[in-house]
């Protein structure tokens, strides 16, 4: 067994782990980071940027939002069912964190809204290819990784940690195994666990949340995100706490480039009984969309349009857009719908009549026909008597060009939560007392959303990851100084 001795051991090299490691190194603490993959970043490599409150970038674009406004918005959004001191510490640190990242070489394209009803808190990393979109934050991960190495952090790739060393109630190191099978015992004065939850573990999803991964709950399926860190912390005495999904509703549109946006444009939504269940305009908030579908029979819904609506989108573009999606795909709409039909895509259907469509997707034809008739009446009168849907989104289904449907399921970026922490990111035991030497950051410790991810303040997950990593590093410094 290889022996190591450091001040701080960090488990996993996502944005939270990297931030914790960099902070520890900045405090002149000998630090080792253990990453099970052959690269750092994890899910952040698919992301775009971090939340910032009252930053110079926001102020320069006259899109500034102060701490008081952001904090109250978040606490009211979550109905105060979250850790207020932790939210406060995170938001208050966020502007400094944006500057901290800039100082190490990260460049930001600006501060953006996710959609028109959100705040411009999303500090999107300047993408290496010049095009804003998913994976932009991979450049930030490269900068953070290089900076950690420059500061002296030892990064052990392909070396998963499989247990924590606990002695006399204190966490004092980790046990790991490298790619060659060599066991490693790393003694440390403090350990940060930041392994990203368990969004890719069907077993844990079923056991902890009662959900069937890939059947009634979809996730990004990030390789290796299977709950290792949570299981280790629970074994060490950590309190199980606040597990949930970072929900974002999804249309299962396959590989046809435009159809994901075509079926996510606030048109008719029905459940498997053929009944409307929400104001479709509210489904433009992906979390609200996912929450609503999750409450339907079988956790399934269908988005329905007709050929005339599809052609309108092809000609004029999508009514609802965000900076995440490639809106240029609208020119391919009719070709993509035709290809999905020819390929017999199992989640997209086309029929000449609404009754035929109902038969295809297993809905009572009479019920769906009645729902469409009622919906069309609302569109004609310009007011949705059932859910008060936004008037500009009331587009009738005439049936011209046939009817199309797409299956919708609750999606998620992954899981959130699993352990209870304080604002220093110390992990609590079952009696709500900090476990000496044990800290957590990022998704494993993310219990600040309650039951709904906050799209109103975008950049939250990666923002929490980086800021909680820094908070953990600060908390560890306080702890180590108390031991000296």
With 90 as the cut, is the pLDDT of residue 447 above it? yes
- Cα distance between residue 410 and residue 245, in whole Å: 10
With a cut of 90, say whether residue 281 has pLDDT above it.
yes
- Give residue-wise pLDDT tens across range 102-112: 999 999 999 99
Domain boundaries, the chain: 2-239+420-483, 247-410
Rounded to an integer, the average pLDDT of 114-128 is 91
| Alpha-carbon span 202 to 217, nearest angstrom | 10
Confidence of residue 323 (pLDDT cuts 50, 70, 90): confident
Q: What is the pLDDT of residue 316?
A: 94
pLDDT of residue 256: 87
- Mean pLDDT (the chain, rounded): 95
**What average pLDDT does the segment 325-347 reach?**
92
SS3 sequence of 51-76: ECCCCHHHHHCCCCCCHHHHHHHHHH
Q: First-to-last CA distance in the chain?
A: 29
**Mean pLDDT, range 401-422, rounded to an integer:** 96
Q: Assign domain 247-410 to its CATH architecture.
A: Alpha-Beta Complex (3.90)
Whether the pLDDT of residue 203 is over 90: the answer is yes
Please, are residues 48 and 476 in contact by the beta-carbon 8 Å criterion?
A: no
Cα separation of 14 and 158, whole Å?
14
What is the bridge-based pairing of β-strands 31-34 and 154-156? parallel
Total residues found in the chain within this entry: 484
Q: Is the pTM of this model over 0.85?
A: yes
pLDDT tens digit sequence for 77-86: 999 999 999 9
Chain segment 30-83, per-residue pLDDT in tens: 999 999 999 999 999 999 999 999 999 999 988 889 999 999 999 999 999 999
pLDDT of residue 160: 98
H or E, element range at 190: strand 183-193
Q: Report the pLDDT averaged over residues 211-236.
A: 94
CATH of 2-239+420-483, one of 3.40.390.10, 3.40.50.720, 3.50.50.60, 3.40.50.10490: 3.50.50.60
The pLDDT assigned to 329 comes to: 87
């Amino acid at each position: 067994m290889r022996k190591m001795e450091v001040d701080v051991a960090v488990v996993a090299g996502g944005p939270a782990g990297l931030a914790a490691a960099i902070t520890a190194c900045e405090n002149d603490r000998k630090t080792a980071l253990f990453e099970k993959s052959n690269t750092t970043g994890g899910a952040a490599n698919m992301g775009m940027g971090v939340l910032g409150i009252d930053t110079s970038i926001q102020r320069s674009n006259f899109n500034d939002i102060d701490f008081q406004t952001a904090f109250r918005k978040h606490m009211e959004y979550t109905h105060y069912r979250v850790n207020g001191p932790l939210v406060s510490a995170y938001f208050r640190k966020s502007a400094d964190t944006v500057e901290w990242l800039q100082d190490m070489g990260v460049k930001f394209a600006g501060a953006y809204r996710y959609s028109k009803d959100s705040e411009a808190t999303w500090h999107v990393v300047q993408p290496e290819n010049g095009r804003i979109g998913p994976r932009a934050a991979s450049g930030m991960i490269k900068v953070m990784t290089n900076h950690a190495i420059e500061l002296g952090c030892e990064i052990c790739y392909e070396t998963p940690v499989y247990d924590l060393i606990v002695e006399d109630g204190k966490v004092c190191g980790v046990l790991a195994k490298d790619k060659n099978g060599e066991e490693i015992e790393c003694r440390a004065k403090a350990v940060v666990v930041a392994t990203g939850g368990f969004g890719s573990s069907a077993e844990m999803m079923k056991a902890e949340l009662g959900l069937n991964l890939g059947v009634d709950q979809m996730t990004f399926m990030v390789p290796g995100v299977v709950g290792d860190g949570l299981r280790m912390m629970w074994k060490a005495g950590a309190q199980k706490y606040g597990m949930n999904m970072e929900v974002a509703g999804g249309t299962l549109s396959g590989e046809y480039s435009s159809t994901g946006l075509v079926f996510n444009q606030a048109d008719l939504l029905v459940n498997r009984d053929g009944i409307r269940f929400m104001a479709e305009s509210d489904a433009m908030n992906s979390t609200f969309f996912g929450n609503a579908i999750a409450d339907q029979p079988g956790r399934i819904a269908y988005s329905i349009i007709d050929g005339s609506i599809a052609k309108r989108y092809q000609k004029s573009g999508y009514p609802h857009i965000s900076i995440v999606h490639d809106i240029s795909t609208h020119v391919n709409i009719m070709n993509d719908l035709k290809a999905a039909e020819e390929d017999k895509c199992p989640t997209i259907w086309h029929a000449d009549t609404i009754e035929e469509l109902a038969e295809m997707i297993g809905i009572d034809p009479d019920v769906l026909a009645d729902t469409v008739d009622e919906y069309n009446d609302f569109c004609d009168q310009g007011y949705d008597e059932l859910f008060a849907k936004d008037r500009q989104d009331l587009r009738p289904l005439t049936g011209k060009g046939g009817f199309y449907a797409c299956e919708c399921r609750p999606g998620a970026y992954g899981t959130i939560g699993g352990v209870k922490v304080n604002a220093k990111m110390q992990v609590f035991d079952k009696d709500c007392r900090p476990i000496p030497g044990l800290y957590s950051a990022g998704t494993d410790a993310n219990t600040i959303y309650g039951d709904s991810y906050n799209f109103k303040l975008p950049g939250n997950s990666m923002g929490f990851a980086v800021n909680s990593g820094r908070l953990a590093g600060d908390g560890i410094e306080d702890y180590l100084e108390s031991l000296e």
